[in-house]
Structure 1
Amino acid sequence: MSIASAQRQSGVRPFLVGMFVDALGSGLYYPLTLLFIHSVTGLPMTVVGLGVTAAAAVGLAANPVAGVLIDRFDARRVLMGTYVLRGLGFAAYPFVDGFAALIVVAAVVAFGDRAYYPASGGYISVLATGADRDRLYALMSTARNVAFGLGGLLSAGVVSLGGTTGFVVIASVNAASFVVATGCLVLSGRRAPVEPAPPEPGGYRRVLADRPFLGLVAAEQAFTLTRLVLPVALPVYAVTVLGAPAWLLGLLYTLNTILVAVGQLAVRRRQRAARRTHAMALGGAVLIVSCVAYAAAAAFPPGPPRVIALVAATLVFTAGELMHATPSWALAAAAAPPALRGRYLAIHQQTWAIGNVVAPAAFSALLGAAPALLWGTLTVLLALAALTLLRLSRRLPPDAVAAPGA
């Protein structure tokens, strides 16, 4: 093992610890986002909803800005910046007393949330190469899902015991979690020093001129929209269209979270010999099956048969999610030139920012018109994405499509 490889590996553990602490704190907050802000600030729920929407719009700019900063400074420093922004935001929430202050604080948090993803992906590409990079992405996903689930369980206990005070405790603990995560990143950087890549001209113009990569981003947008089904569309579809009990939603969410946490490394091991593009395309095929299964659930009689159908569809959906996630991250990072990796990953992760804006309105409109339209639309998008990925397997860099050492 080279000195550089040993340094990278020594930096992995504190990085993963920081990811876990970050996700544990966020898990306290995310399941209760609107209720949390309403309780901590005392503002009406309608005002809170408008403020969060405005902040999400501001967050759309976070990825492009983060990409520039990553390429100029390095991913670890930008990742530390996202922790500092979110820590300050959550520390400030208890002092918010009006709509303008809410927008400022929520925008700071939203900006940090969105910039986190290209920064974390960029730092993983520094800490690991080849097949080890896929493994580290899988490890991060596992750690975050476990921590996020634990945070969700703890949040219920804190709120039930503390009431409004419990929400203030959540804000304080979440802010503290970002401080701890920042410290872990400082330690990680000391153990795995990395010299920045020499600058390359072109900036975002070069990214937008890279047609194979833009094809990858277009395919990723279909996957992103589909993966937003579980938190956005399924609650409406299951309860209002199928008449499923509301408690089932918590069960489906928990089932998905646990299986993603437990299954990520196992799925990654089975994908080691596969091209990343092909692994993602197969994941798309499985997600198509899940869309068909969700649509078919309406044909089952109400009651236990329909509940079982929804659980089965969610199991298939989770399998497709597992097959897509790790190769997607690793392929995008490997396809990017090192000196422009921040910008490349920022464009790749912009699919989530766009999806979070588009999905609520689009999914609601499709479900309102005819539920089958939602599942049919996603099926078509996923089929096009899978075909695109198969074509891109010969156009993207060979060492990005097939991980060296896999």
Structure 2
Amino acid sequence: MGLLLTPVTGRLADRHRVVTVLVLVLAVRAVAYGSLAAADGFALYFAAVVVGLSGDQVTPPLQQAIVGQWVTGRDRPRTLGTLRAVRNIGLSAGLAVGGVLLLAGSELPVRAALLVNELSYLVLAAAYRRISRDLGVDDAPLATPERPQRVPYRPLLALAAGNGALLFHDTLLFVLLPLWVAGNTALPPVTVAVAMLINTGLTVVLQLWLPRGQFGDGWRRGIVTAAVVMAVAV
């Protein structure tokens, strides 16, 4: 669903206001988490998970579009790197807190945590709206309905395809690799948690460090170096 909805939300952002579309997506994600907290059967749980994960997939491109509008020049890579780093910190913290709540064996703390998540999305949506007004940013449509923008730049499409391949490796890392370690090695289960923490720490540090000074030909060298490291690791 997220894969199918991402181009749809992108087109809506092109034709309408990016902040408006993002605020709507965040509101939908808030409803999804509220539904999870209230779920007492499989149908509602399944629908809430699908909607919530779909919202998680379509949000980053909208945030990147907003950074492109609100931030200029050399601050853009640093801003995007910081957003990604904070996101990864939040994912790690969420995994840790979620694990503790599940080990507690009580239903009430889990539902309370889901409601806190719901509230956080509503606060974030309000913050985007408020910042947009305070900055006085012209959040005009990126393309009019009469003349929508196209993407004739083929290298950009190739870069998007490469990014999709990298996301495939993310899936291997977070889903298949822990299952393989737990089922096919003699390593203790805690090894998976330690590996994930190390991965997150490296990710946060590199996302904050690499965007600095990666301009001109520097970004090409950075991409090539990262590709070589990933190839060796695989």
Smaller-chain TM-score bracket: 0.7 to 0.9
CA 172–108 in structure 1, closer or farther in 2 if over 3 Å, else same: same
Q: Could you say what secondary structure the match of 2:11 adopts?
A: helix
Counterpart residue number, 2:147: 201
Q: 2:225 aligns with which of 282, 292, 295?
A: 282
Superposition pairs for residues 218-257 of structure 1, below 5 Å?
Answer: 218-257=161-200
CA 234–111 in structure 1, closer or farther in 2 if over 3 Å, else same: closer
Count of residue pairs the alignment pairs up: 231
Superposition pairs for residues 153-302 of structure 1, below 5 Å?
Answer: 153-161=96-104, 163-195=106-138, 196=140, 197=142, 199=144, 201-202=147-148, 206-207=150-151, 209-269=152-212, 271-272=214-215, 274-291=217-234
Q: Could you say what secondary structure the match of 1:130 adopts?
A: coil
CA shift, 1:70, in A, is: 0.8
* Cα deviations by residue, 1:152-183 (Å, 9 ceiling, x for unpaired): 33334444446111211111111111111112
Counterpart residue number, 1:296: none
Q: Could you say what secondary structure the match of 1:60 adopts?
A: helix
Counterpart residue number, 2:62: 119
Name the Cα RMSD after superposition: 2.3
CA 68–273 in structure 1, closer or farther in 2 if over 3 Å, else same: closer
Q: Could you say what secondary structure the match of 2:147 adopts?
A: coil
In 1, Cα distance between equivalents of 2:165 and 2:109: 38
CA shift, 1:140, in A, is: 0.9
> In the alignment, is the contact (CA less than 8 A) between 1:62 and 1:111 conserved in 2?
yes
CA shift, 1:214, in A, is: 1.7
Q: Could you say what secondary structure the match of 2:137 adopts?
A: coil
Structure number with greater Rg is 1
* Cα deviations by residue, 1:234-262 (Å, 9 ceiling, x for unpaired): 21333334433221000000111122223
* Cα deviations by residue, 1:181-204 (Å, 9 ceiling, x for unpaired): 11211221112233224537355x
CA 218–118 in structure 1, closer or farther in 2 if over 3 Å, else same: same
CA shift, 1:289, in A, is: 1.2
In 2, Cα distance between equivalents of 1:177 and 1:143: 15
1:74 aligns to 2:36 (yes or no): no
> In the alignment, is the contact (CA less than 8 A) between 2:85 and 2:208 conserved in 1?
yes
In 2, Cα distance between equivalents of 1:267 and 1:164: 42
1:94 aligns to 2:37 (yes or no): yes
Counterpart residue number, 1:137: 80
For structure 1, which runs of at least 5 residues remain unmatched after alignment? 1-57, 292-406
> In the alignment, is the contact (CA less than 8 A) between 1:66 and 1:118 conserved in 2?
no
Q: 2:92 aligns with which of 136, 149, 157?
A: 149
Higher relative contact order (CA 8 A, sep 6+): 2
User: Which is helix-richer, 1 or 2?
Assistant: 1
Q: Identity rate of aligned residues, in percent?
A: 25
Which AA in structure 2 matches 1:174? N
> In the alignment, is the contact (CA less than 8 A) between 2:77 and 2:212 conserved in 1?
no
> In the alignment, is the contact (CA less than 8 A) between 1:223 and 1:284 conserved in 2?
no
CA shift, 1:273, in A, is: 5.3
For structure 2, which runs of at least 5 residues remain unmatched after alignment? none
Task: Return the TM-score normalized by structure 2.
Answer: 0.86
Task: Return the TM-score normalized by structure 1.
Answer: 0.52
